[in-house]
Amino acid sequence: MKRLKNLILITIFMASVGCSLPPEKPVTENELLPMFKAFEFLESPEEILAVLNKEGEVTIPAKFRGRPYYVKILATSRGLVIEYFPRTEAPKEK
């Protein structure tokens, strides 16, 4: 019974640690500007900043040279970490 209790506590702890946290230092709009020069986002910089400063990460659909991507931005103590992944768009109905 004690083993089961310990297993449950460890599982709860690991699940809570795995969640995203707000950054230690708030992200500024100047840090995002280079990305807005490279990618076309549907969201405004203010909307992205609000989510980044609240959650610590955001994944947004964007376009780069006309091709669709998902851009993932992580706010870390060392600065922003940006990853992008190609996405396929659903076929458009006629």
Residue 89: the pLDDT is 65
Place of tokens 């460890």: 10
Residue 11 has pLDDT above 70, yes or no: no
pLDDT > 90 in the chain, percent: 28
| pTM given for the model | 0.69
User: Which tens digit of pLDDT belongs to each residue from 24-53?
Assistant: 788 888 888 888 888 999 888 899 999 999
Residue 91: the pLDDT is 45
- Residue with the larger pLDDT of the pair 36 and 93: 36
